[in-house]
Amino acid sequence: MAGRVEGKVAFITGAARGQGRSHALRLAEEGADIIAVDLASPIPNIDYPSSTEEDLAETVRLVEALDRRIVATKTDVRDRDAMRLAIESGVGQLGRLDIVVANAGICVIDDWKGTSEEVWDQTIGTNLTGVWNTVSLTAQHLIDAGGGSIIMTSSAAGLKGLPFLSAYVAAKHGVVGLMRAYATELAEYNVRVNSVHPTGVDTPMGTLGGGNFGPLLEAHPKLGGMLANLLPVEITQPVDISNAVLFLASDESRYVTSLTMTVDAGNTQY
């Protein structure tokens, strides 16, 4: 069924590539206009390539090729003032806001001894405070529109522990708490709030293939099974998560709120 979010406007963080770009394209395919933000700059400490301004420009090109409007800005989700400006500018140009996808995130792999204060602050700042900035600054726009849908990207690591990702696990569990709190407070305004919990996704961040991960698993082999999926697939595709985001953004889920929606191939069953 085409046009499942026809006439709606979606704000998406981390939209330059990966899951964020996929969400932007999937929602645009179904009729939404897009407000997109991304840091699009080098990120310290991570073992995978950072997104770039060229990546963000490509997201713009791809959305416009679907004959949808898009307003994109280079913005750090940790910078509350910059986020406010990006949101106000996008809503001003596109006229409304109906859908919010708090997707931006980073992942740094190390054991508990190697996780530095800088990595902790950076991860919590992006993956948790960035989500709070996104939701707290957009909620009133959804209320003004008569209701809407907020989708927060958590992780399988938001529902269970995973090794060598302590800051990431803490942040993603925190996202679930934010989701439940906002779902409770915003329900009276017909704003639904849910979280999505992927397993590994085939993106630069989601493969978890770089840096210390291999050697850490070799040194602690008993922990490797925690990363296994129940279904016979090692990694999912971004569109698999985008399809869940589309469902939660659309009126098909009009009575779904405070849901931790797993798209994890059964990973959290272990």
Q: Is 255 tagged catalytic?
A: no
Gyration radius of the chain's alpha carbons: 18
Exposure string for 245-270, b = 16+ CB within 10 A, e = fewer: bbbbbbeebeeebbbbbbbbbebbee
Phi, psi angle pair for 144, to nearest 5°: -65, -30
- Cα–Cα distance between 265 and 197 in angstroms, integer? 10
Q: Are 205 and 163 in contact (CB under 8 A)?
A: no
Q: Pick the catalytic residue: 48, 168, 189, 270?
A: 168
- Collapse the DSSP code of 15 into the 3-class scheme (helix H, G, I; strand E, B; otherwise coil) and give the result: coil
Q: What are the DSSP calls for 182-233, one per residue?
A: HHHHHGGGTEEEEEEEES-BSSTTTT--STTHHHHHHHSGGGGGGG--SSS-
Is residue 152 within 8 Å of residue 171, measured between CB atoms?
no
Number of other residues whose CB lies within 10 A of the CB of residue 190: 15
Task: Give the three-state DSSP class for 262.
Answer: strand
Distance CA 127, CA 76 (A): 11
Report residue 165 CA to chain centroid gap: 17
Active-site residue set? 168
